[in-house]
Amino acid sequence: MNSWIRQVRILDPLTQRDQIGDVLIRDGTIQAIDHALDVSGADIREFDGQGCVLAPGLVDLYSQTGEPGHESRETLAQLLTAAAQGGFTRVVFLPNTIPAVDTPAQVVQRLTANQPNQPQFLPWGAITQGTEGKRLTDLIELGSTGIVGFCDGQPLANSLMVQRLLDYTQSLTLPVAMWPCDLNQTGICRDGADAIRLGLSSLPVTSETAPLTALLEEIATSLRPVHLMRISTARSVDLIRSAKARGLPVTASVTWLHLLFSTADLDKYDPSLRLAPPLGTPEDQTALIDGLEDGTLDAIAVDHCVHTYEEKAVPFGIAPPGAAGLQLALPLLWQTFVTPKRWSPLQLWTYLSLRPAQCLNIEPASVQLNTAANLVLFDPHDAWTVTTDSLGCDVINTPYADQTIWGKTKHMWVSAINN
């Protein structure tokens, strides 16, 4: 069905477009954009865009799916529903499924989940076999299968393996994403006054900064571009800012919940705020937001990770890390940063759509004539309550359970786009 969206706020961070107008979509392509269009035809579906935003579909850098291996947590169909509900036209999922996405056959199997007119799911290919960090996969072979890049979603502790990874992938244009984290250092709350006040075992900042420093040294030697994922501390922001000033080829991302919460929000010991890496201190949270705004950090990732009710209905200290987010990130980031005018709508869309695509070396969606319509119609004023019914899932694995929030995706257009 062709679409006519009337008098909508058109946002496009790629061209810096921010205007009110009409948009006509025919056969999956943006055919016309004007202040006002005169459109007729029985095959045209009309959308009243007043008060809404029409913008490129969002891109999630990394999230986790329960299928295959943990379908009781979330199936691919449920993940697809969550992505569409949240305005994400492309979701890149981590390879740590069972079995892992570590062979060409596994990549092909995952890609068959993509269906026309639905959000695209793009797989990261595993760096190591089974994402166990012991032996490298056949990186060259895996790189020719349609993966978006290489990532384990787990820290890679072996420095010699990191060297080989960066060397072996020099000839490939696919991105490499790595999580700087020392799993040998234990703790469930970032070290600071709140960890002491709440009686939670503390995790020192060096659990992130020490492996980050070592990784930056390897990048300085090889000059192989790397994406740094799950950045969570102020000191890490400083290190990345310095690395970029030296010309190192790095990009970096922070997850949405690390922008909205800190250790100061753990008073209720909510298992949904048990994350990996753990929430930073209030000073970390401020530095992450500032780092995003000044370009030290490039993009926001969702890192969507659903667990069953039984898995999360335990004390904070033993709950598995992770929370749902695909349905919630856009409205809550809008509510927190755009509504009070700290960020413009274009800024938010840059962090959630344009820059994630650039970090992945994939073509960003855009609102331009004769381009594929990969768009989302978002109403920032539509209020709804976060429940299992509204989320379309079996569990409410989020700190926003039963709360009323503002902002809802009204419609999505997904067309073929080059990756």
**Residue 170: CB atoms within 10 Å:** 10
What's the pTM?
A: 0.96
Give me the catalytic one of 60, 191, 303, 379.
303
For the chain, what are the domain ranges? 2-53+370-387+400-413, 56-359
Q: Please confirm, yes or no, whether 303 is among the known catalytic residues.
A: yes
Instruction: Of 267, 272, 265, give the one whose Cα is nearest residue 314.
Output: 272
pLDDT at 419: 54
CA angle 93–387–345, rounded 5-degree value = 60
Q: What is the enclosing helix (H) or strand (E) of 412? A: strand 404-413
pLDDT at 371: 96
In CATH, what number does 56-359 get? 3.20.20.140
* Beta carbons of 123 and 105 less than 8 angstroms apart: no
pLDDT at 416: 67
Which whole-number Å values give the CA distances from 185 to 58, 145, 211, 285, 413, in the listed order?
A: 35, 36, 11, 21, 45
Sheet with 299-301, strands from edge to edge, namely: 177-178, 226-228, 250-255, 299-301
Say which CATH architecture domain 2-53+370-387+400-413 belongs to: Roll (2.30)
pLDDT tens for the chain, 419 residues: list them.
Answer: 799 999 999 999 999 999 999 999 999 999 999 999 988 777 899 999 999 999 999 999 999 999 999 999 999 889 989 999 999 999 999 999 999 999 999 999 999 888 888 999 999 999 999 999 999 999 999 999 999 999 999 999 899 999 999 999 999 999 999 999 999 999 999 999 999 999 999 999 999 999 999 999 999 999 999 999 999 999 999 999 999 999 999 999 999 999 999 999 999 999 999 999 999 999 999 999 999 999 999 999 999 999 999 999 999 999 999 999 999 999 999 999 999 999 999 999 999 999 999 999 999 999 999 999 999 999 999 999 999 888 877 767 899 999 999 999 999 999 966 55
Largest CA-CA distance found in the chain, in angstroms, rounded: 66
Cα 311 vs. chain centroid, distance in angstroms? Answer: 23
Q: What is the enclosing helix (H) or strand (E) of 378? A: strand 375-385
pLDDT at 417: 60
